[in-house]
């Protein structure tokens, strides 16, 4: 038994999904102590869009540390923070005419969601939040209240009050028109549901099973929010930071959320950082009213500036387009045909292989575990964890992407042939 298994709480998860002792990592490969190499289709759950130990970001960090740069300062003004705000403003806000202020929350994604919910309530004077079925927004109590997964919700032993879950646009509820449904709720004096402060949205439900919303649906949703004076919160924690090509996942639809939550790959180096962006008119906070010791991690600011520069110089937007085409073709033409009704969904560099139709919840688990044995890290998401999530670093070399897909295909063939003998 390893020391982790002996002493770390039962709550540990990824040490079970990926049972090896990791020591080093570079780019899109992780190395274990026993010398095994793993191609990374997991990317730190979205925190490593620029790969492990990205050389450009590492250099910036080393320079900063060697110069005795400030490493902790709560939310004092620091040069590192100023540079981050200026760079982000210049590269990601100004070109898209986004006039947002920054709120640094700390240190992980759930903190940004907590702050967004509080701010929406404070700014509107309303309590309710609409969230979508399949949505994942974190597991602290406020974020958990807008997270739909029963597994996580049941652990809280608290009813999640003031939240109404609405079907997403994914067809699970048979093409249900959720925008008309919400319209009816608000217009019906007998619906029993009050106008919410905000609607919280993932443009692609990642943990929920890689469900991708359409441009038209997002535009309808924005119009609905504007009509009723409801704030639109875009949780871009997992699929923002260039995962779909554009830095913001909502950009392609041309919508402008009132509040945007970012975390995971914002620092680009796996350093904890989370932030909210919102319109100035929403800035209803009193100084210090929402706080936290670890807001605005200084090393993360330095890394984030380097990550934004790297994104431009490595032309990551275009790299994602190339990988999107490759993944879409490979998954559709070679993997979806391995058993009836395998669904492939995705956009940019996040894709899902949905094995729900096999009616055997063990298949996806076995495939992910066999992939691990074959040196490929792959996570499972969605209802009953039936969806294999492909989410490599955005800058993964094409050869590695191809090799990872080949390993996945081999494992799927082995497993699905034996399943097909049994089931079909």
Ligand X SMILES: Cc1ncc(COP(=O)(O)O)c(C=O)c1O
Q: Could you say which of 44, 51, 134, 138 contacts ligand X (CB under 6 A)?
A: 138
| Residue 133: Cβ within 10 Å count | 18
Q: How far is the CB of 321 from ligand X (least distance, A)?
A: 23
Name the closest residue to ligand X (Cβ). 109
CA dist., res. 420 & res. 209, Å (int): 23
Residues 299 and 307: their CA atoms lie apart, in Å, by 12
Considering the rule CB under 6 A, would residue 331 count as an interface residue with ligand X?
Answer: no
Instruction: Give the nearest distance from C-beta 82 to ligand X in angstroms.
Output: 25
Terminal alpha carbon distance of the chain: 40
Instruction: Give the range of 232-240, 243-251, 362-370, 387-395 binding ligand X by CB under 6 A.
Output: 232-240
**Would you count residue 45 as binding ligand X (CB under 6 A)?**
yes
Determine which residue in the list 64, 136, 168, 372 makes contact with ligand X, applying CB under 6 A.
Answer: 136
Q: Give the residue with the Cβ less far from ligand X, 124 or 238.
A: 238
* Region of 7-15, 176-184, 235-243, 285-293 interacting with ligand X (CB under 6 A): 235-243
The tokens describing 310, both together, are: 């790297």
Q: For residue 42, what are its two tokens?
A: 């997991």
In the DSSP assignment, the letter for residue 295 is S
385 is an interface residue for ligand X by CB under 6 A? no
Distance CA 29, CA 27 (A): 6
Nearest Cα residue to 107 out of 96, 115, 99:
115
Q: What are the start-end ranges of the H helices in 30-128?
A: 43-46, 55-66, 79-88, 109-124
Q: Does 298 bind ligand X (CB under 6 A)?
A: no
Burial class (CB in 10 A: 0-12, 13-18, 19+), 375: middle
Q: C-beta of 108: minimal distance to ligand X in Å?
A: 3
Per-position x/- string for 187-206, each x denoting binding to ligand X as judged by CB under 6 A, each - no binding: ---------------x---x
Q: Which is nearer to ligand X, 43 or 396 (CB)?
A: 43
Binding part of the chain for ligand X, among 81-89, 130-138, 165-173, 248-256 by CB under 6 A, reads 130-138
Size of residue set near ligand X by CB under 6 A? 15
Closer CB to ligand X, 204 or 308, in the complex:
204
- The span from the CA of 397 to the CA of 409, in Å, is 18
For residue 208, state whether it binds ligand X (rule: CB under 6 A): no
Give Cα 263 distance to the centre of its chain: 8
Nearer to ligand X, 236 or 370 (CB): 236
> Which residues neighbour 347 within 8 Å (Cβ) at sequence distance 6 or greater?
204, 212, 244, 324
Instruction: Kindly tell me which residue out of 263, 265, 356, 415 binds ligand X, with binding defined by CB under 6 A.
Output: 263
Q: Percent helix, strand and coil across the chain, each rounded to 5?
A: 45, 15, 40
Least distance in Å: CB of 204 to ligand X? 9
- Asked whether position 137 contacts ligand X by CB under 6 A, the answer is yes
Nearest approach in angstroms of CB 107 to ligand X is 8
- Closer residue to ligand X in complex, CB, 36/152: 152
Q: In this chain, which stretch among 21-29, 134-142, 226-234, 371-379 interacts with ligand X, using CB under 6 A?
A: 134-142
Helix (H) / strand (E) containing 130? strand 129-132
- Which x/- pattern over 96-115 shows residues binding ligand X (rule: CB under 6 A)? ------------xxx--x--
Report d(CA 18, CA 10) in Å as an integer.
15
Minimum CB–partner distance for residue 113 and ligand X (Å): 6
Give yes or no for residue 207 binding ligand X (CB under 6 A): yes
Q: Which residues, including other chains, have CB under 8 Å from residue 38's CB and lie 6 or more apart?
A: 18, 20, 29, 30, 31, 32, 372, 375, 376, 377
Q: Which residues would be at the binding site for ligand X (CB under 6 A)?
A: 45, 108-110, 113, 136-138, 202, 206-207, 235, 237-238, 263
């Amino acid at each position: 038994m390893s020391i982790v298994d002996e002493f770390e709480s039962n709550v540990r998860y990824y040490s079970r999904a990926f049972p090896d002792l990791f020591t080093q990592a570079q780019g899109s490969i992780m190395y274990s102590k026993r010398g095994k190499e793993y191609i990374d289709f997991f990317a730190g759950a979205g925190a490593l869009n620029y790969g492990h130990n990205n050389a450009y970001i590492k250099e910036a960090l080393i320079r900063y540390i060697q110069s005795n740069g400030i490493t902790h300062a709560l939310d004092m003004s620091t040069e590192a923070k100023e540079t981050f705000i200026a760079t982000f403003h210049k590269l990601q806000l100004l070109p898209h005419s986004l006039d947002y202020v920054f709120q640094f929350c700390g240190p992980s994604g759930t903190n940004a969601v907590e702050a967004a919910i509080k701010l929406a309530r404070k700014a509107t004077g309303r309590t309710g939040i609409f969230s979508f079925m399949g949505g994942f927004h974190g597991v602290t109590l406020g974020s958990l209240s807008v997270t739909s997964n029963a597994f996580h919700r049941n652990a809280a032993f608290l009813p999640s009050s003031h939240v109404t879950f609405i079907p997403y646009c994914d067809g699970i509820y048979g093409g249900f028109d959720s925008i008309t449904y919400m319209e009816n709720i608000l217009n019906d004096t007998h619906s029993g549901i009050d106008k919410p402060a905000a609607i919280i949205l993932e443009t692609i439900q990642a943990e929920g099973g890689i469900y991708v919303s359409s441009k038209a649906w997002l535009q309808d949703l924005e119009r609905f929010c504007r009509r009723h004076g409801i704030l639109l919160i875009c949780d871009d924690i997992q699929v923002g930071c260039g995962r779909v090509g554009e830095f913001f996942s909502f950009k392609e639809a041309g919508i402008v959320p009132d509040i945007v939550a970012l975390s995971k790959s914002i620092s680009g180096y796996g350093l904890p950082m989370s932030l909210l962006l919102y319109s100035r008119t929403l800035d209803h906070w009193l100084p210090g009213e929402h706080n936290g010791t670890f807001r605005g991690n200084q090393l993360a600011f330095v890394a984030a500036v380097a990550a934004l520069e790297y994104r431009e110089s490595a032309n990551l937007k275009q790299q994602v387009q190339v990988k999107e085409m490759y993944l879409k073709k490979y998954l559709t033409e070679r993997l979806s045909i391995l058993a009836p009704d395998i669904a492939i969904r995705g956009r940019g560099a996040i894709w899902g292989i949905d094995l729900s139709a096999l009616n055997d919840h063990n298949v996806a688990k076995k495939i992910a575990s066999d992939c691990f044995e074959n040196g490929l890290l792959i996570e499972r998401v969605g209802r009953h964890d039936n969806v294999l999530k492909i989410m490599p670093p955005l800058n993964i070399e094409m050869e590695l992407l191809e090799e990872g897909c080949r390993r996945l295909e081999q494992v799927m063939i082995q497993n699905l042939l034996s399943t097909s003998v049994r089931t079909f």
